[in-house]
Structure 1
Amino acid sequence: MFLVSNADTLRQLHQDHLSNYNHQEQQAIELMGLLNKLYNEQDVQVTLFGDTLDTNSVGQILALHQKVALRDQGARAIDIADTLAMVKVLADNKDIQATRVDVGQLIANDSDIQTALQSIDNTKGAINGATDVVLYGFGRIGRILTRLLLSQVSSAKGMQLKAIVVRPAAAGDLAKRASLLERDSIHGSFAGGVIIDNENNGLIINGRFVQVIYAKDPSEIDYTAYGINDALVIDNTGIWKDEAGLGKHLQSTGVKKVLLTAPAGGEIKNVVYGVNNDTVGDDTIVSAASCTTNAITPTLKVLNDEYGIENGHVETIHSFTNDQNLIDNYHKADRRGRSAVLNMVITSTGAAKAVGKALPELSGKLTGNAIRVPTPNVSLAILNLNLKTAPASADALNEFMRKISNSSQWQTQIAYTDSTEAVSTDFVGDTHVGIVDAQATILTDNHAIVYIWYDNEVGYSTQVLRLATQMAGISYTQIPA
């Protein structure tokens, strides 16, 4: 009798959970429609604690709502019904333009959406125009940028990927390029469609035509012949790193600005978005620095602002990259000629020195080294720091970083994990530039050791796009500020 009763209870429990989830799915579907309309008609973007709500995925929207309480144990769960109610208010307000609204922050802080909207000066807001984007180079970063740009809902505004430039190649190259975009051994299959257009020498990616241009030198291209004007060129090749080389892009017809996805030399600014992007101004050539510099600089900034950093050392445990050899062979750089998939390889890194360019108050205070290891993606930076003011304990230091990761200012860049089971593959595809591992934090007096995970491909690419968006003159009013 007990077994039957228990089975009935469990059956009812299952039905209740299913019914509740089905109801949430219907709310997510309604939410997706409103989000698409807001984006296309008013250039309004809605996020949940910095995470973009995928307007094509019910599962992703529900998962993000469930993840909130897990990410911050002190936060209450965000009900999708609350998000839907807030987005309905946004959709009813036709005067709001070019605005990014974080409904998670508003709900968590019990903020009234109507009051928040009244604080906006609508006379300053205008829907952002379109900016032509060219990817010069189609390697790891080029393909990740393509995925990120073309996974978004199609729109006639914002950054428009118009062309990819690669070196002249043999017949069949177009099919190879399409295949490399569709299939990725690390990040999986591309969530979209890729069609080869041989007649026009391009690719149709998620319904958008992208021209493929073959060229040996940037200066020889006339982009206007392809209908491209005032373009922002994102150079992913790493071949040119100074003004003389990168200036070749500006010599071509149809280019307005250049962004390098590698550290630059000379007078070119090395910019870490969120830290020193306010220095860009009208610069026509800018560097997005390196993946490691982007991963560590935001955390170093907040630690320096809170505790002060006397000096320190940064050790990077970095995944192998394409400039290393698969098997032992000649390489112009020391040690990199030894097999990348069989060895840990000690090498140099300019990341610690580069921090000083983005964060002048730390200039000359940090040393750095790197160890390339036999994993294809996700790296780990170890910050070994002497602080001016010591936190009360490692727990206090972790609590500070947890609050930082949940702040509206840093939530899209700095993440935080206190899982005892976290390993590198858990962070594949993570769009945060760095994830603080609380379980590994060590504090002895004023000496702190902080570990930061980062997807050195996706995390860095999101930073590149943030900087590219700024260079393109695309801006949004932030709610909350």
Structure 2
Amino acid sequence: MTVNEDSFTNWKNREEIAESMIPIIGKLHREQDVTVLVHSRSLVNKSVVSILKTHRFARQIAGEELSVTETLPFLQALTTLDLGPSQIDIGMLAATYKADGRGLSVAEFTAEAVAGATGENKIECREPRDVVLYGFGRIGRLLARLLIEKAGSGNGLRLRAIVVRKGAGQDIVKRASLLRRDSIHGQFQGTITVDEANNKIIANGHEITVIYSDDPTKVDYTAYGIKNAILIDNTGKWRDREGLSKHLRPGIDKVVLTAPGKGDVPNIVHGVNHDMIKPDEQIISCASCTTNAIVPPLKAMADEYGVLRGHVETVHSFTNDQNLLDNYHSSDRRGRSAPLNMVITETGAASAVAKALPDLDAPITGSSIRVPVPDVSIAILSLRLGRETNREEVLDYLRDVSLTSSLKRQIDFISAPDAVSSDFIGSRHASIVDAGATKVDGDNAILYLWYDNEFGYSCQVIRVVQHVSGVEYPTFPAPRA
């Protein structure tokens, strides 16, 4: 047999194994509300090739192959356990088992590693928490996709309604079409139908009521059967407590803003300071996409090396806040054509760091340039560290953070030498460390951090909503602090 035939046979064998994993993953998700992960990447509703690619990606960060032949026994072991709602990383199970050395069987090791999700320790499935989207633009539609995707088990979060101003002619049909197809993020994974008579969009069986209103104080959500809901304002029209409080209507319990909050509104970056949210806090901001991109790696570097000062330069994709062609704009430069120019503009991300990392006693400055790409940005984080180090040590540390720390859902790591911005469309991490671009000289470090400013940020918003709703399920094996 030739080498090529050997490789092809191996591929077909792995395809067969991945195919056998799909019904197990689906059943765990539907019946027990268990999300199966590989190095923080969900395998729920993934194809055979996607499962194989997710395993293959471990090579980029762990430095060695991860095969489905290694993870399948752990997945099979999970089916023998009485699991409660949780997220279980079979990639981490395989890695920690390999390093364990106690001679336990896979079944014994798995039962021990996920003990917090079984027996008396397991969380009982909760009633779904209602969610309302106020606004249905770029972020709103991505949030809708994520909420529908995560509702597969019937528990957790349930998108009940979107609130928009009514447009002229077939408004609901056009909004459903924008949810169905996206020029950047592709087709909606599932089916969408429209019930115009009842102002509903039905997506993967979930009925979403379209509420028409241009004034949040005039909506009674209980009239639509909505109760104790979390409202996500993705319009950015109101950013202070007074303005956002207008949403606290009958049926709405909490308000989450997808923009930097002003005044005393808490700015939350999930993974960094979400634990500071008080149970009775009703108004929360998820800060900006750039703040979410820089704060987790900044915290990681500060924890290990100390940070004396820093500067962030963001090269940011253009947004709907800019003009397609030169025209009047309230901002000095954003009126110039977005797809034809690099546009210097301001960023509040540096000042927002102080809200998310109040213990960081280091001045952080920032500036931004909008560039002619429709999605994915990069933050260049230049730091003066508290001690000297070298490039290899920093990369080893950040790689480990991306794999095993409590920030592993926020920080990703890539060592591909030819990575470019479009490679990160659809990334669910807040930022991705580009190993090849990282520079370290003594106590100076420069990190290049890619981020999908639309989808990655939307994932961070959903994580905050899950946390405040009480349906943020624990991950096993537990990440290190």
Corresponding residue for 1:51?
41
The letter of the residue matching 1:278 is D
Distance 1:462 1:24, change over 3 A: same
- Residue 296 of structure 2 is aligned to residue 288 of structure 1: no
Residue pair 1:435, 1:453 contacting (<8 A) in 2 also? yes
Matches within 5 A, 1:436-451: 436-451=433-448
Matches within 5 A, 1:161-176: 161-176=159-174
Q: Decide which moves more: 135-144 or 119-128.
A: 119-128
Q: Decide which moves more: 144-153 or 320-329.
A: 144-153
- How far did 1:117 drift? 3.4
Could you tell me which of 125, 128, 136 is aligned with 2:126? 128
Instruction: Provide the C-alpha distance between the structure 2 equivalents of 1:131 and 1:29, rounded to a whole number of angstroms.
Output: 33
Corresponding residue for 1:358?
356
- How far did 1:261 drift? 0.3
Corresponding residue for 1:102?
89
Matches within 5 A, 1:226-237: 226-237=224-235
Instruction: Provide the C-alpha distance between the structure 1 equivalents of 2:437 and 2:10, rounded to a whole number of angstroms.
Output: 38
Distance 1:15 1:358, change over 3 A: same
- Residue 21 of structure 2 is aligned to residue 31 of structure 1: yes
Instruction: Provide the C-alpha distance between the structure 2 equivalents of 1:396 and 1:180, rounded to a whole number of angstroms.
Output: 46
Distance 1:406 1:451, change over 3 A: same
Instruction: Provide the C-alpha distance between the structure 1 equivalents of 2:79 and 2:235, rounded to a whole number of angstroms.
Output: 42
- How far did 1:289 drift? 0.4
- Residue 153 of structure 2 is aligned to residue 155 of structure 1: yes
CA RMSD of aligned residues (A): 1.7
- How far did 1:263 drift? 0.3
- Residue 391 of structure 2 is aligned to residue 426 of structure 1: no
Corresponding residue for 1:180?
178
Instruction: Provide the C-alpha distance between the structure 2 equivalents of 1:120 and 1:372, rounded to a whole number of angstroms.
Output: 45
- How far did 1:166 drift? 0.6
SS of structure 1 residue aligned to 2:250:
coil
- How far did 1:243 drift? 1.1
Distance 1:336 1:241, change over 3 A: same
- Residue 71 of structure 2 is aligned to residue 83 of structure 1: yes
- How far did 1:320 drift? 0.8
SS of structure 2 residue aligned to 1:109:
helix
Residue pair 1:105, 1:408 contacting (<8 A) in 2 also? no
Residue pair 1:379, 1:453 contacting (<8 A) in 2 also? yes
- How far did 1:120 drift? 5.2
Corresponding residue for 2:374?
376
The letter of the residue matching 1:205 is A
Instruction: Provide the C-alpha distance between the structure 2 equivalents of 1:221 and 1:349, rounded to a whole number of angstroms.
Output: 34
Could you tell me which of 53, 72, 76 is aligned with 1:63? 53
Q: Decide which moves more: 440-449 or 155-164.
A: 440-449
Instruction: Provide the C-alpha distance between the structure 2 equivalents of 1:66 and 1:254, rounded to a whole number of angstroms.
Output: 45
Instruction: Provide the C-alpha distance between the structure 2 equivalents of 1:163 and 1:23, rounded to a whole number of angstroms.
Output: 45
After TM superposition, the score normalised by the length of structure 1 is 0.93
- How far did 1:336 drift? 0.9
Distance 1:119 1:261, change over 3 A: closer
Instruction: Provide the C-alpha distance between the structure 2 equivalents of 1:129 and 1:92, rounded to a whole number of angstroms.
Output: 25
Residue pair 1:412, 1:432 contacting (<8 A) in 2 also? yes
Gaps of 5+ in 2: 101-108
The letter of the residue matching 1:102 is D
Structure 1 vs Structure 2: percent identity of aligned residues?
47
- How far did 1:450 drift? 1.2
Residue pair 1:50, 1:408 contacting (<8 A) in 2 also? no
SS of structure 1 residue aligned to 2:458:
helix
Give the number of equivalent residue pairs. 466
Instruction: Provide the C-alpha distance between the structure 2 equivalents of 1:119 and 1:465, rounded to a whole number of angstroms.
Output: 24
The letter of the residue matching 2:45 is T
SS of structure 1 residue aligned to 2:378:
strand
After TM superposition, the score normalised by the length of structure 2 is 0.93
Q: Decide which moves more: 285-294 or 118-127.
A: 118-127
Residue pair 2:35, 2:44 contacting (<8 A) in 1 also? no
Corresponding residue for 2:105?
none
- How far did 1:153 drift? 6.0
Distance 1:211 1:366, change over 3 A: same
SS of structure 2 residue aligned to 1:445:
strand
Instruction: Provide the C-alpha distance between the structure 2 equivalents of 1:433 and 1:387, rounded to a whole number of angstroms.
Output: 22
Deviations 1:174-205 (A, max 9, x none): 11111111221111222221111112111111
Corresponding residue for 1:258?
255
Instruction: Provide the C-alpha distance between the structure 2 equivalents of 1:120 and 1:63, rounded to a whole number of angstroms.
Output: 28
Deviations 1:374-425 (A, max 9, x none): 111111111111111111x222222221221122422221111222211111
Distance 1:19 1:443, change over 3 A: closer
Corresponding residue for 1:212?
210
Corresponding residue for 1:5?
none
